[in-house]
């Protein structure tokens, strides 16, 4: 398991002094949008739902969602490849024509409709025929052969497998989870419990509030996030609610549009998209009002995938573009963050039109340096900021590395024992000060000694080590903590 700690919550922090938290917003590419509507099956939208994964031999592969026909669009799963993650070439693999055009890069759909697909790599077995896994949402109307089974909900989630990400089996998918999930599905592997967690959008009644019933008794819906688990990607638990908006979010006018989750170290990092409802509009469905509004993306963090904390006082992490830009009205992120060397790539789809105007979504990308979601820095610059970790059971060959920016300041580290007493030879004064450096993973040294050489020198029992970091006009983003402990202890929220 990766020992990277992002400090997005206080799980690993025992004490801090004079510390402020500031989110770093991803920098959008000047080449955006990087995928535009070019073919008939893309005439209504392109969406980053799907995934971007490394291509064997280098480069990237993207599975994306497209459609034509407005709000009742044909929905298909498409495929393209790239050498740099910016410039994409559609792979015209299918000979099946779409509206007279062939070949196409459509892998699945439009019959059945392939809504909000999510493609991941298999983590639960090494079967070469199941290297890639897919989940998507679709309509009961496209499955007359399952009419006796698909009772109740009008939409269900389906799963399929593939040896190469191109040919999927079964072609129409296998029934998995009942219910509508029409915003990006996000799926991650939970190694502590040997299972997948699927994060799905749900809808509920606005009770105890009833803010906007129409003159003819039309109802509204309120979005929230739910999750299901599976050990084999085929058999899934019933979804449970894990996150909904609160009074601070202006519930029920603030709603969760999606939760896109990436596992990093022992943390689940969530790109939390909130929809701020500004008005309700009549739709063709006479009993339902459609929400008009804009989106905002914040950060959330979890240690088990089910209990979530909001990060940095709910600061905006991924902002809309300014008025007139292509991404000024709506943004939805891809289901996970792509780690590529020293950078993180955030793929997203966006539009400059309101939902009621049948927006044309396009795909863009933004990036940040690796693991630099948030800067921990001194709140009062004339005083040091201090962070002390909870006790670590340091591994014998461990090396403490910091992701820091000290170009205008300094970082010192000392090691203390379980009771807080400084370990001889590993004081702040003994530390090789980190100055004039901006580094993603700089190793900390005390002379020529590493943290592993402090093992057994602690006077207190148990012989665990706390790391005390001093920030003098410097920023800490993450740390590689060489700790044998598993954080947190596994929790059981049902089984697939």
Residue 323 near residue 30 (C-beta atoms within 8 A): no
Residue 496 lies in a domain: no
Asked if residue 228 belongs to a domain, the reply is: yes
Are 151 and 130 part of one and the same domain? yes
Tell whether 448 and 349 lie within a shared domain: no
Whether 240 and 325 map to the same domain: the answer is yes
Residues 189 and 301 in one domain: yes
Residue 492 lies in a domain: no
**SS3 state at 85:** coil
Pair (247, 292) in one structural domain: yes
Dihedral (CA of 290, 292, 294, 298) sign: negative
Distance CA 388, CA 368 (A): 26
d(CA 88, CA 82): 5
Distance CA 494, CA 199 (A): 14
Distance CA 274, CA 199 (A): 15
The pLDDT, as a whole number, for residue 288 is: 62
| E-strand stretches of 231-288 | 240-243, 254-264, 267-282
Q: What angle do CA 168, 178, 211 make, to 5 degrees?
A: 130
Number of domains within the chain: 2
Cα 63 to Cα 78: distance, rounded to the nearest angstrom: 6
Predicted structure pTM score: 0.93
275 and 258 fall within a common domain: yes
A 10 A CB-CB count for 194 gives 13
| pLDDT for position 440 | 98
Q: What is the CATH number of the domain that holds 129?
A: 2.115.10.20
pLDDT of residue 154: 86
Check whether residue 366 and residue 435 sit in a common domain. Answer: no
Hey, is 476 helix, strand or coil? Answer: strand
Q: What is the mean pLDDT of each run of 10 residues along the chain (496 residues)?
A: 86 96 96 95 90 96 90 86 97 94 96 94 97 96 90 90 97 94 92 97 73 51 93 97 95 93 96 92 66 92 97 95 93 94 96 82 96 97 95 91 97 95 96 97 97 85 90 98 64 46
Q: What are phi and psi of 145, to 5 degrees?
A: -70, -15
Burial class (CB in 10 A: 0-12, 13-18, 19+), 133: buried
Mark which of 348, 370, 392 sits at the end of a domain. Answer: 370
Q: Write the DSSP string, 292-315.
A: EEEEEEEEEEESSSSSEEESGGG-
Q: Does 495 reside within a domain?
A: no
Residue 184: its pLDDT value, please? Answer: 86
Q: Is residue 439 part of a domain?
A: yes
Structural domain includes residue 486: no
Judgement on whether residues 315 and 444 belong to the same structural domain of the protein: no
CB 256 within 8 A of CB 224: yes
Tokens in use for 126? 């090494």
Q: Are residues 119 and 262 in the same domain?
A: yes
Closest CA to 411 of 380, 448, 386, 394: 386
Check whether residue 329 and residue 432 sit in a common domain.
Answer: no
Q: What is the pLDDT of residue 488?
A: 45
Question: Beta-carbon neighbour count of residue 31 at 10 Å?
Answer: 11
Which CATH number fits the domain that encloses residue 406? 2.60.120.260
In this structure, the answer to whether residues 442 and 460 fall within a common structural domain is yes
Q: Which domain holds residue 73?
A: 27-370
On whether both 142 and 237 belong to a single domain, the answer is yes
Residue 429 domain flag = yes
Q: What is the pLDDT of residue 492?
A: 47
Residue 493 in any domain: the answer is: no
């Amino acid at each position: 398991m990766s020992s990277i700690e992002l400090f997005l919550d206080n799980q690993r922090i025992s004490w801090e002094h004079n510390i402020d938290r500031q989110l770093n917003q991803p920098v959008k590419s000047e080449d955006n949008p990087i995928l535009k509507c070019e073919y008939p099956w893309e005439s209504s939208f392109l969406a980053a739902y799907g995934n971007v994964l490394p291509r064997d031999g280098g480069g990237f592969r993207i599975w994306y969602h497209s459609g034509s026909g407005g709000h009742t669009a044909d929905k298909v799963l498409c495929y393209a490849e790239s050498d740099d993650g910016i410039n994409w070439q559609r792979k015209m693999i299918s000979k099946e024509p779409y509206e007279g055009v062939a070949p196409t890069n459509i892998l699945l759909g439009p019959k059945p409709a392939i809504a909000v697909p999510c493609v991941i790599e298999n983590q639960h077995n090494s079967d070469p025929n199941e290297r890639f896994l897919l989940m998507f949402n679709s309509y009961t109307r496209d499955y007359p052969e399952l009419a006796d089974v698909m009772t109740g909900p009008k939409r269900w989630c389906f799963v399929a497998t593939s040896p190469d990400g191109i040919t999927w089996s079964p072609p129409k998918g296998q029934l998995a989870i009942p219910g509508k999930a029409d915003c990006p599905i996000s799926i991650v592997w939970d190694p502590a419990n040997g299972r997948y967690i699927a994060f799905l959008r749900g809808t509920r009644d606005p009770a105890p509030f009833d803010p906007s019933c129409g003159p003819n008794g039309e109802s509204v819906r309120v979005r929230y996030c739910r999750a299901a688990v599976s050990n084999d990607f085929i058999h899934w638990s019933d979804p449970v609610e894990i996150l909904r908006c609160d009074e601070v979010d202006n519930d029920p006018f603030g709603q969760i549009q999606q939760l896109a989750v990436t596992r990093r170290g022992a943390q689940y990092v969530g790109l939390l998209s909130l929809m701020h409802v500004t008005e309700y509009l009549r739709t063709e469905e006479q009993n339902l009002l459609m929400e008009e509004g804009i989106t905002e993306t914040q950060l959330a963090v979890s240690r088990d995938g089910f209990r979530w904390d909001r990060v940095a006082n709910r600061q905006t992490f991924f902002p809309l573009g300014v008025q007139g830009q292509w991404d000024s009205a709506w943004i939805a992120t891809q289901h996970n963050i792509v780690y590529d060397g020293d950078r993180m790539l955030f793929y997203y789809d966006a539009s400059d039109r309101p939902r009621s105007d049948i927006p044309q979504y396009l795909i863009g990308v933004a990036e940040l340096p690796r693991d630099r979601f948030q800067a921990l820095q001194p709140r009062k610059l004339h005083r040091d900021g201090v962070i002390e970790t909870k006790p670590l059971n340091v591994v014998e060959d461990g090396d403490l590395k910091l992701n820091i920016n000290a170009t205008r300041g300094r970082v010192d580290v000392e090691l203390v024992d379980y009771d807080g007493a400084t370990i001889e030879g590993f004081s702040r004064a003994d530390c090789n000060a980190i100055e004039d450096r901006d580094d993603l993973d700089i190793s900390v040294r005390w002379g020529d000694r590493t943290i592993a050489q402090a093992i057994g020198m602690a006077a207190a029992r148990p012989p665990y080590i706390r790391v005390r970091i001093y920030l003098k006009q410097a920023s800490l983003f993450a740390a590689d903590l060489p700790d044998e402990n598993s954080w947190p202890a596994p929790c059981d929220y049902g089984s697939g």
